[in-house]
Amino acid sequence: MTASISDPVHDVVDARFALLPYIDELRSAERLSRRLGFAVRPRRVRVKPGQSAIVAWRREVAGHLGEFADWGFTAVLTSPDKLANARRRAARNKQELTIHEAAEPQSAGATGAVLVSGGVLADPRIGKHVARTLDHLRGDLRIIGYNPARRLLLKHTPADGAPEFVRIAADSQIHLAEAADRWQRAQLPSLPVEFVGGRETATRSPWWGTGDLGDRPDPNVAEEVGVIIAELHRSGVPDNGGEPAESVGASAEADRALGSPLDQLETISRSLVRLLPEREADIVGLLSELSRRLGSRRGFGPNRRLGPKRELREIHGDLSPDQVLLANSECRIIDLDRSGYGAIGMDLGRWIAACRVDSRLHELERPFIDGYRSAGGEETDLGAWTAWAMLVAGLEPWRNCSESWRDETMRIIDLAGTALEENAPTTEVGS
Specify if 32 maps to a domain. yes
**Which segment of 193-207, 211-225, 240-254, 389-403 scores lowest on mean pLDDT?**
240-254
Task: Flag whether pLDDT at 7 surpasses 90.
Answer: no
The answer to whether residues 26 and 87 belong to one domain is yes
Find the mean pLDDT for residues 70-81: 93
The answer to whether residues 34 and 166 belong to one domain is no
Specify if 402 maps to a domain. yes
User: Residues 177, 144, 57, 2: what is their CA dihedral angle, to the nearest 10 degrees?
Assistant: -110
- 256 vs 149, residue with greater confidence: 149
Find the mean pLDDT for residues 266-284: 96
The answer to whether residues 150 and 59 belong to one domain is no
For 25-66, the pLDDT digits (tens) are 999 999 999 999 999 999 999 999 888 999 999 999 876 667
Specify if 430 maps to a domain. no
Going through 329-422 in order, the beta strands assigned E by DSSP cover 330-333, 340-342
The answer to whether residues 70 and 88 belong to one domain is yes
pLDDT at position 250: 42
**Which segment of 6-15, 99-108, 316-325, 344-353 scores lowest on mean pLDDT?**
6-15
For 374-399, the pLDDT digits (tens) are 999 999 999 999 999 999 999 999 99
Please report which confidence band the pLDDT of residue 309 belongs to, taking 50, 70 and 90 as the band edges: low
The answer to whether residues 319 and 390 belong to one domain is yes
The answer to whether residues 315 and 406 belong to one domain is yes
Task: Flag whether pLDDT at 254 surpasses 60.
Answer: no
pLDDT at position 110: 54
Specify if 327 maps to a domain. yes
For 296-305, the pLDDT digits (tens) are 554 444 444 5
pLDDT at position 102: 86
Task: Flag whether pLDDT at 427 surpasses 70.
Answer: no
Burial (Cβ within 10 Å: 0-12, 13-18, ≥19) of residue 240: middle
pLDDT at position 29: 96
**Which segment of 86-95, 104-113, 259-268, 306-315 scores lowest on mean pLDDT?**
104-113
The answer to whether residues 215 and 328 belong to one domain is yes
Find the mean pLDDT for residues 417-429: 67
- The total number of structural domains in the chain stands at 3
pLDDT at position 185: 95
Q: Of 308, 317, 334, 174, whose CA–CA distance to 236 is shortest?
A: 308
Specify if 217 maps to a domain. yes
The answer to whether residues 262 and 409 belong to one domain is yes
Computed over every residue of the chain, the mean pLDDT equals 88
The answer to whether residues 269 and 338 belong to one domain is yes
Please report which confidence band the pLDDT of residue 241 belongs to, taking 50, 70 and 90 as the band edges: very low
Q: Of 266, 269, 273, 270, whose CA–CA distance to 13 is shortest?
A: 273
Rounded to 5°, the CA angle 190-194-197 comes to 160
Find the mean pLDDT for residues 343-364: 97
pLDDT at position 215: 96
pLDDT at position 296: 59
Q: At a CB cut-off of 8 Å and minimum separation 6, what does 314 contact? A: 182, 232, 233, 235, 236, 339, 340, 341
Please report which confidence band the pLDDT of residue 353 belongs to, taking 50, 70 and 90 as the band edges: very high
Question: What's the CATH number where 301 sits?
Answer: 3.90.1200.10
Which pTM value belongs to this model? 0.89
Boundaries of domain holding 32:
8-122
Question: Long-range pairs for 334-339 at CB < 8 Å and ≥24 separation?
Answer: 334/190, 334/191, 334/205, 336/176, 336/179, 336/180, 336/183, 336/190, 336/193, 337/173, 337/175, 337/176, 337/179, 338/258, 339/175, 339/176, 339/179, 339/182, 339/256, 339/314, 339/315
Coil/strand/helix, residue 82: helix
Residue where a domain terminates, one of 90, 122, 154? 122
pLDDT over 70 percentage in the chain: 84
Rounded to 5°, the CA angle 391-149-129 comes to 135
The answer to whether residues 388 and 339 belong to one domain is yes
Task: Flag whether pLDDT at 322 surpasses 70.
Answer: yes
- 8 vs 377, residue with greater confidence: 377
Question: What's the CATH number where 197 sits?
Answer: 3.30.200
| Alpha carbons 97 and 91: distance in angstroms, whole number | 9
The answer to whether residues 261 and 324 belong to one domain is yes
The answer to whether residues 301 and 195 belong to one domain is no
